[in-house]
Structure 1
Amino acid sequence: MAVREDEIERPDGSRGVYGVVDKPDFALVVPMERGGFHLVEEYRYPLGRRTWNFPQGSAPGRAAVPPAELARRELAEETGLRADALTELGRLDSSHGTTGQGVTVFLATGLRAGAHDREPEEQEMRQCWITRAEFKRMIRDGRITDDSTVAAYALLLLHEEEGGV
C-alpha cells in the first residue's frame, strides 16, 4: 500500500490536494452450498473489532495474479475449501473516493473441504457456514458491515434473477 497526495486543478481552475491510497486489486469469493454461505471472521485493526465477511484478499507483494486464480487461492487459504466451479459475478470499485482499488467477485460452488493455509495476520480467523436467512439477519443487525460482502451479495442476487445458479 502507498499513500500519496496529488496536487490537482478543479474544473473551476482552483487548486487543491487529493489524498489517494494505492492498493492492489483483490478478489472476493461467495462460497455457497446447501442454501447458505461460508463466512470468515477476523479482527480488523482499523475498526478495533472482529467482523464477518466473505473470504477475500489480494496477492502478496502486489503480484499480478489473474482474478480467478486469486479467488481460488484466497478461498483455500482462508477456509480450506476448494471449488469445482467458479463463476465471475462482476467487478466493483472499492472506496472509489479514496482509491482506485477494485474487487472481482466470484461465486464458488461444488465445494470440497481441505486444510486452510492462513497468513500470520489471519491466525485468529474463524469460519462458519450459515443459512441465507441468517446471513440476511447478520447484515440487518450489524454483524456483517463489510461493504464488499454486502455488494457481493447484491451481485449474487442479480445473477440468480438472471437464471444463474
Structure 2
Amino acid sequence: MQKQLHSVIRYRSSIFTLSEDRVQIENGSVVTRSIVHHNGGSAILVRKEGRVLLVRQYRYALRQDLLEIPAGKIENGEDPSATALRELEEETGWSCRQLKPILTMCSTPGFCDEQIHIFEALDLCRPLQRRPMDDDECIELQWIPLQEACAMIRDGSITDAKTIIALQYAMLNEAQC
C-alpha cells in the first residue's frame, strides 16, 4: 500500500485539477506523483435494429475527428446514470426508459483518477423536449451496423477506448464477431 505524505494543488480548471503528491511506496522510497483529478464521465451504448449510434466530433487534443459512443462529464454531485441520460438527450436527441450498467473503466490510471461509467440504453424513445447541445459541441450522428463498427475497430477507424469497450460488449452479446 502506498501512503500519501503531502499533496499540493498545482492547477485547477473547470474540467480537472492537477495535484503533485509526495508518496511513500511499498519499498519505503518516497516519490513524487502528478495526479489529474477528474469527476469522471458516463457513456452510453445505443443499439437499434443491428446498428449502433455513434457521434462524430472533432477532438482538439488529438487534432482529429473521432467516432465515439455518446458520453460526457459528470457534474459535481451528479449520479452517473443521470449524466448518461442527460448526455444521451443532448448529443443524440434520444432518450430511453431504462439504463443498463455495463461496467466502469479507468481511463488512464497511471496518472488520472477518472472513471467512465458505461451504460446501455434500453427501450429507446424520443424525449418530450430535446435538451440543447453544449455550446462547444459540433456533433454528427451516425447509425452504423454493428459488423461495420467491428471492422472499424480492426482497421483503426475507431480508436476511442470507451467506444471500443462498449462495441466489444455489443459484439459479444450479439455473437456477430
Unaligned runs of 5+ in 2: 1-15
Bigger strand fraction: 2
2:143 partner letter: W
Question: What amino acid is the match of 1:66?
Answer: D
In the TM superposition, 1:12-161 aligns within 5 A as: 12-59=27-74, 62-113=75-126, 115=130, 117-122=132-137, 124-157=138-171, 160=173
Flag the structure with larger Rg. 2
2:10 alignment partner in structure 1: none
Per-residue deviation at 1:85? Answer: 2.4
Does the residue aligned with 1:118 lie in a helix, a strand or coil? coil
- Over aligned residue pairs, what C-alpha RMSD do you find? 1.9
**Any conservation in 2 of the 1:41–1:50 contact (CA below 8 Å)?**
yes
Structure 1, unaligned runs of 5 or more? none
More helix by proportion, 1 or 2?
1
Where 1:91 maps in the other structure, the secondary structure is strand
The offset of 1:14, in angstroms, is 2.1
Q: State the one-letter code of the partner of 1:13.
A: G
Q: Find the aligned partners of 2:157 and 2:100 in 1 and give their Cα distance.
A: 26
Q: Helix, strand or coil for the counterpart of 2:136?
A: helix
Higher RCO, 1 or 2 (CA under 8 Å, sep at least 6)?
1
Q: Share of identical aligned residues, percent?
A: 29
| Partners of 2:55 and 2:131 in 1: CA distance | 12
TM-score by length of 2: 0.81
TM-score if structure 1 supplies the norm length? Answer: 0.87
What are the superposed Cα offsets for residues 53-100 of structure 1, whole Å, 9 maximum, x if unpaired?
0001123xx421112111110100111111122211122222111211
Letter in 1 for 2:30: R
* Distance of 2:170 and 2:155 partners within structure 1: 21
Deviation at 1:112, TM superposition (A): 2.7
State the Cα deviation string for residues 86-126 of structure 1 (Å, max 9, x = none). Answer: 2111222221112111111111132234645211221x211
C-alpha distance in 2 between matches for 1:133 and 1:157: 8
